[in-house]
Amino acid sequence: MKRKIYLAGLLVIFLGAGFTTLRNKDLELVKNLDIYYTLFRELNMFYVDETDPEKLVTTSIDAMLSSLDPYTTYIPESNLDEFQFQTTGEYGGIGSLIRKSGDYVMIADPYEGFPAAEAGLRAGDIILKVDGFSTKNQPIESVSDRLKGKPGTEIRISIDRYGQDKPLEFTLIRKTISIPNVPYYGMIDSQTGYIRIANFTSGAGKEVEDALKTLKRNQDMKSLVLDLRSNPGGLLIEAVRICNFFVGKGELIVSTRGKVTQWDSDYITQKEPLDTEIPLVVLINRGSASASEIVAGALQDLDRAVIVGQRTFGKGLVQTTRPLKYNAQLKVTTAKYYIPSGRCIQALDYSNRNEDGSVGVVPDSLISEYETRKGRLVYDGGGIRPDLEVIPEDLSEITLQLYTQNLIFDYATMYRATHEKIASPDVFSITDQEYDAFKDFVEKQDFEFQTASEKIFNSLVQTARREKYYELASDEFTRLEQKLAHNNLKDLGTFSDEIRQILNEEIINRYYYQSGRILAQIQDDSQLDKAKEILLEPGAVEEILSGSGDVEIAAGIIE
């Protein structure tokens, strides 16, 4: 009897401690909210200058959320359209990317099949007016808002086009713009199908399904490449649907686990697959994140595909949107996700920041080994490691600068104005004479840049002068400076192959849009070449997935 009373007493003590803890947390919450309210009131009443209450609150909210992770964000009502576009890939407008160009805004990339392209607007066109409203010195957001609108409404645009003496006038009808998740698919050789997946917005699974069914009508197709490179992710459920095309019904693809346990979920394939036998390679790189990592990781864990490329970004967190008052939303991280082997591939540890507030990667000492279905070793804590690592060559500094300073873009604009049509994307290439014309164009521009070597050298000179060593070695510094100095004309020759490749892609995009650019890109693609090599070698895929070959899978070493 005494024992029962004693246990009951312990239970009361424990429950009381629990209630005390909850009560203390509630008190702390009320206390801090009261402090925030009084501080905000005093600030608005007594600060020396006029304040903007809405801006102050938004700034404080953003600062609070930034202490958690970059994916937990506040979405005011004014930004809901942009948020909806990120999840659905749809908006009402003309269907074109725009960017700033001097005092105006420029058409940067019209989408094939949408009002801008159908009306004849081109990349490089300067937008002078929208419905009679001058865009000069207007923020790009303001111009974007005027271009968007309810589908079916009319819009008048005045543009300045290279080679034209007078402005051109266009009248367009806005449409619902749905950016494709699959911007290109096709056969890349007589036996190999290829599907580029650019996003995981709503409908991605259906687009991949349609592409795969179309490719499978080709009786000669014996293998497939899924290209997830630079895919930032999107909807988790679309990733599960895509995996279902290649693995059987009832397979666990991903699990989510968070603080609110009733929200924990296991995502299992619900339908019969389209093809569980076709040899499959998935391409990834550092820009592959979130849902694209679920697809690559699940197919790797289930030994269904060979993963080729570079280690992915490493986003293993799941976000949920929660409604707030006044039509605002909170996008909040609610869980981590785990792929079939049981690993979470989150790379950055936001819950344990460094003393200076920075975020560190998960240390090697905390990275754990897991096994695929057939027993191959895979790892958590830092993205999906490819089965075969293929790192493309970095572009030279001059190529990067020609691109970022828009000289390649501007030359393509000029080229489009003087060439009505070009050959198909898989065969087009500018001639030697056209490349010489490009070099002449560059020489006439105010084109300056520093190589990384020159930047480091200048830093070394400054340090040497500060430490008073420069005079002791001034001759050596002078000779080294002369050797490191780049020459635009020489560099345009030395790096002509890669410059011509980027220039070809930009020109092709003016005639064949995004699908043409992709087709041009994959004509010279070391990662895709490795994928084709594996798929064309009899038994290579099976050997890699069984872990019995000469390829060291876990370390990602090529043969």
- State the Cα–Cα distance between residues 65 and 73, nearest whole angstrom: 6
290 given a catalytic annotation: yes
Say if residue 260 is exposed, middle or buried (CB neighbours under 10 Å; 0-12, 13-18, 19+): exposed
> Which structure tokens are listed for 444?
């006439």
Angle at 145 between CA 143 and CA 151, to 5 degrees: 125
Active site residue 446: no
Report residue 297 as tokens.
């990781």
Distance of CA 369 to the CA centre of its chain: 28
Query: Catalytic: which of 175, 315, 331, 530?
Result: 315
**Catalytic member of 125, 227, 301, 380:** 301
Cβ(212)–Cβ(275) below 8 Å: yes
Tokens (6 digits) for 505: 């892609």
Task: Give the C-alpha separation, 61 to 79, whole Å.
Answer: 15
C-alpha angle 119/125/131, rounded to 5°? Answer: 65
Q: Do residues 110 and 122 touch, judged by C-beta distance below 8 A?
A: yes
Kindly report the backbone phi and psi dihedral angles of residue 221, in degrees, each rounded to the nearest multiple of 5, phi listed first. -70, 120
Backbone angles phi, psi at 370, to 5 degrees: -135, 170
CA dist 499 and 503 (Å) reads 6
In angstroms, the CA 214 to CA 218 distance is: 8
Catalytic one of 290, 292, 341, 515: 290
Token pair of 424 as six digits:
């198909």
User: Is 315 noted as a catalytic residue in this protein?
Assistant: yes
Query: How far is the C-alpha of 218 from the C-alpha of 515, rounded, in Å?
Result: 20
Q: Which residues pair with 195 in a beta bridge?
A: 185, 226
List, by residue number, the catalytic residues. Answer: 290, 301, 315
